[in-house]
């Protein structure tokens, strides 16, 4: 627990705003709307009266104990609080090692990394700006070898966990602050790689919102129909290269994935799915690519799950249930603290397998009130099942819609690439078992790791890869799932489990 003592001035500020001003970033997943309950602090001194939202979100005991929501609490005069930092801050290292492995492996074996016209010994930094995490790789641009990688949480997280919260914050006058936060994160990462942020050439991939915030562009049009980006073209300013995107919800990170997996050069048809809060996907080959994004929600990141946590030490990541007996593994072998994304998927599969949950998502009466017990007070509830149904249905229906719109069947897909950390860690049989992925494609599915960073590394090593990016964008067409009757039908259909 950390402590902070301060005094409020004449202008009323929330604790969240005060701490941000001091460079202290609390978890604030809902972006300060008072709905996520993540920004808890405890007043040791100067405790203000609870607000209506705090009375709803906190128990009577917590309120008595001085616990408040930092985004709602406006103390007057002197106060002292204790608080904890965002959990990702503590776990950045474990995320790093997974991403490092993915990138280094591709970097050492991918032949397209090394064909280039860069000067001997020239180094560059490739960066993937994710909504949650930022990853940077230092590459020897001549040989295409990845020398080192580092990651950090995206400190814009203090303004909300998802792109919608960031867009809102930017539109509410925080555009410059958000830009400064990401610029500082990038400079720190480059410095951690032992390079000078002012002089080293940099190649950047990221989703459209992250790129808008970095460039200081207005996000006004990103959050409202028809969701038009200000600028997603390839930018090259001095020694900084910003990779191009396709649309507001299919950004440069997905184009980088298309290039990294070689889909843009392939005769055969491949598919790429990134199962994040926004499930982004692409299908196609060197002649034609269809892309789409679907609001899957954060269930597979442990979000909106009653005992959900990020992939932190102690998170239950593997589960087996036999005759009601639960066996589990936690990250780092630590005492269980909650369920991370893979744990959520595995519990869901096991409950279906054991017939504790039926194909409609209905839980056995015995567990409806208090949830199914997993470990100590960690349970899986009826509401959690609904969250999984929404997430899995959005991803599967999105993928099916793209396949049908492309006019093909499963047998024509050579490889299904799963991008991102979740795709790398899931048990494919269990994923197919709950219906996120089609059973037919499991034998042709590959975990591709951080394809956004890999694609940025490729562009850093070989200037001609820029042409591949431009080609990939030019042959890509977005399918709007929100306007697709086919998607709506499939979405309802895939709410059911295939047991
Ligand atoms: S309740 Fe979400 S940030 Fe405060």
Q: Which helix (H) or strand (E) holds 127?
A: strand 123-129
- Name the more confident of 465 and 324: 465
Between the CA of 28 and the centroid of ligand 1 the distance, in Å, is: 5
* Nearest atom of ligand 1 to the alpha carbon of 32: 3
pLDDT of residue 100: 42
Write phi, then psi, for 6 (nearest 5 degrees).
-150, 175
Decide: pTM greater than 0.95: no
pLDDT at 121: 77
pLDDT of res. 310: 79
> Does the Cβ of 40 fall within 6 Å of ligand 1?
no
User: Comparing 10-19, 350-359, 392-401, which segment has the lowest mean pLDDT?
Assistant: 10-19
- Is the shortest distance between the CB of 39 and ligand 1 below 6 Å? yes
Q: Which contacts qualify for 285-290: CB closer than 8 Å, 24 or more apart? A: 286/475, 287/475, 288/406, 288/475, 288/477, 289/258, 289/263, 289/264, 289/472, 289/475, 289/476, 289/477, 290/402, 290/405, 290/406, 290/476, 290/477, 290/478, 290/479
Q: Is the CB of 69 under 6 A from ligand 1?
A: yes
- In this prediction, residue 224 has a pLDDT band, given cuts at 50, 70 and 90, of very high
The finding on whether 246 has its CB within 6 A of some atom of ligand 1 is no
| 49 Cα: distance to centroid of ligand 1 (angstroms) | 17
The reported pLDDT for the residue numbered 57 is 84
Compare 287 and 6 and report the one with higher pLDDT: 287
Atom of ligand 1 nearest to the CA of 27: 3
Average pLDDT over residues 20-45: 85
User: Which is nearest to 151 in space by CA: 356, 395, 453, 353?
Assistant: 453
Q: 344-381: per-residue pLDDT in tens?
A: 999 999 999 999 999 999 999 999 999 999 999 999 99
Q: How far apart are CA 494 and CA 279, in angstroms?
A: 15
State residue 98's pLDDT score. Answer: 40
> Contact, 352 vs 361, CB < 8 A?
no
Strand order in the sheet with 240-242: 145-153, 133-140, 123-129, 202-206, 240-242, 235-237
Q: Is 28 in the pocket of ligand 1 (CB under 6 A)?
A: yes
- CA angle, corner 282, sides to 280 and 287, nearest 5? 160
pLDDT recorded at residue 54: 92
Task: Check pLDDT > 50 for residue 38.
Answer: yes
Residue 94 has pLDDT above 50, yes or no: no
What is the mean predicted confidence (pLDDT) over 382-394? 95
pLDDT at 264 (0 to 100): 98
Report pLDDT for 499: 63
CATH of 88-262, one of 3.30.420.480, 3.40.50.300, 3.30.70.520, 3.40.630.30: 3.30.420.480
Tell me, in angstroms, the distance from the centre of ligand 1 to residue 54's CA.
10
Q: Is the CB of 30 under 6 A from ligand 1?
A: yes
- Which of the listed residues 14, 29, 165, 174 should we mutate to test ligand 1's pocket, taking the one with most ligand atoms within 8 A of CB? 29
Number of Cβ within a 10 Å radius of residue 1: 8
| pLDDT at residue 422 tops 60 | yes
Q: Are 93 and 170 spatial neighbours (Cβ–Cβ below 8 Å)? A: no
Which tens digit of pLDDT belongs to each residue from 263-310?
999 999 999 999 988 899 999 999 999 999 998 888 888 888 889 887
What are the residue boundaries of the structural domains of the chain, listed by start?
A: 2-85, 88-262, 307-380
Output the six-digit token pair for 231: 């600028």
Residue-wise pLDDT tens digits, 99-131: 444 444 444 433 334 445 566 678 999 999 998
Q: Does ligand 1 have an atom closer than 6 angstroms to the CB of 36?
A: yes
Task: Output DSSP code: residue 308.
Answer: B
* Element holding 327 (H helix, E strand): strand 325-330
Rounded Cα distance, 319 and 460, in Å = 40
Say yes or no: CB of residue 168 within 6 Å of ligand 1.
no
My answer on whether omega of the bond before 226 falls inside 30° of 0, hence cis, is yes
Per the CB < 8 A criterion, the answer to whether 368 and 379 are in contact is: no
Residue 120 pLDDT: 67
Pick from 9-18, 34-43, 85-94, 420-429: least confident: 85-94
By the 10 Å C-beta count (0-12 exposed, 13-18 middle, 19+ buried), 471 is classed as middle
Mean local confidence (pLDDT), 167-179: 95
The answer on pLDDT for 249 being more than 70 is yes
Alpha carbon distance 459, 465 (integer Å):
5
For 340-441, where are the E strands, in sequence order? 372-375, 378-380, 413-419
4 close to 73: Cβ distance less than 8 angstroms = no
CATH code assigned to 2-85: 3.10.20.30
Structure token digits, residue 234: 């390839």
Q: Which atom of ligand 1 is nearest to the CA of 30?
A: 2
Cβ 32 under 6 angstroms from ligand 1: yes
pLDDT at 158 over 90: no
Q: Check residue 10 and give its pLDDT.
A: 67
Radius of gyration of the chain (CA): 23
Where does 353-412 show beta strands of DSSP type E?
372-375, 378-380
Tokens representing 409 are 């069947």
């Amino acid at each position: 627990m950390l402590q902070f003592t301060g005094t409020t001035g004449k202008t009323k500020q929330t604790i969240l705003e005060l701490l941000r001003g001091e460079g202290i970033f609390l978890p604030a997943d809902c972006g300060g709307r008072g709905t996520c309950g993540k920004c808890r602090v405890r007043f040791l001194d100067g405790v203000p009266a609870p607000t209506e939202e705090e009375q709803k979100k906190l128990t009577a005991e917590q309120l008595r104990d001085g616990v408040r929501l930092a985004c709602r609490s406006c103390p007057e005069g002197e106060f002292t609080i204790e608080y904890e930092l965002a959990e990702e801050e503590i776990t950045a290292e474990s995320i790093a090692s997974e991403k490092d492995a993915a990138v280094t492996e591709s970097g050492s074996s991918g032949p397209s990394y090394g064909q280039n016209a860069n000067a001997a010994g020239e180094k560059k930094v490739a960066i993937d700006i994710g909504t949650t995490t930022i990853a940077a790789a230092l590459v020897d641009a001549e040989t295409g070898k990845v020398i080192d990688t580092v990651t950090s949480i995206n400190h814009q997280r203090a303004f909300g966990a998802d792109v919608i919260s960031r867009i809102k914050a930017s539109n509410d006058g925080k555009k410059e602050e958000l830009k400064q936060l990401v610029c500082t994160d990038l400079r720190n990462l480059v410095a951690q790689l032992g390079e000078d942020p002012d002089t080293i050439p940099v190649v950047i991939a990221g989703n459209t919102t992250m790129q808008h915030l970095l460039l200081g562009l207005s996000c006004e049009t990103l959050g409202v129909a028809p969701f038009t980006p200000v600028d997603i073209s390839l930018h090259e300013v001095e020694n900084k290269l910003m990779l191009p995107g396709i649309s507001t919800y299919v950004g440069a990170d997905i184009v980088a994935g298309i290039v990294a997996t070689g889909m843009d050069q392939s005769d055969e048809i491949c598919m790429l799915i990134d199962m994040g809060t926004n499930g982004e996907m692409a299908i196609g080959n060197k002649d034609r690519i269809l892309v789409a994004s679907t609001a899957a929600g954060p269930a597979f990141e442990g979000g909106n799950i009653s005992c959900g946590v990020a992939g932190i030490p102690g998170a239950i990541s593997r589960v087996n249930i036999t005759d009601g007996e639960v066996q589990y593994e936690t990250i780092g072998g630590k005492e269980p603290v909650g369920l991370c994304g893979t744990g959520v998927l595995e519990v869901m599969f096991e409950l279906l397998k054991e017939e504790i949950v039926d194909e409609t998502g209905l839980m056995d009466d015995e567990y409806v009130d208090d949830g199914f017990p997993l470990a100590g007070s960690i349970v899986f509830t009826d509401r959690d099942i609904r969250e999984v149904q929404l997430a899995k249905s959005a991803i599967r229906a999105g993928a099916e819609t793209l396949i049908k719109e492309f006019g093909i069947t499963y047998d024509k897909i050579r490889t299904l690439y799963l991008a991102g950390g979740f795709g790398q860690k899931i048990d494919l049989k269990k994923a197919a078992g709950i219906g996120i992925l089609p059973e037919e494609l499991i034998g042709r599915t590959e975990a591709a790791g951080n394809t956004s960073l890999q694609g940025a590394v490729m562009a850093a090593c070989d200037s001609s890869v820029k042409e591949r990016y431009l080609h990939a964008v030019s042959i890509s067409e977005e399918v709007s799932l929100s306007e697709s009757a086919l998607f709506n039908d499939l979405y309802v259909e895939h709410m059911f489990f295939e047991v």
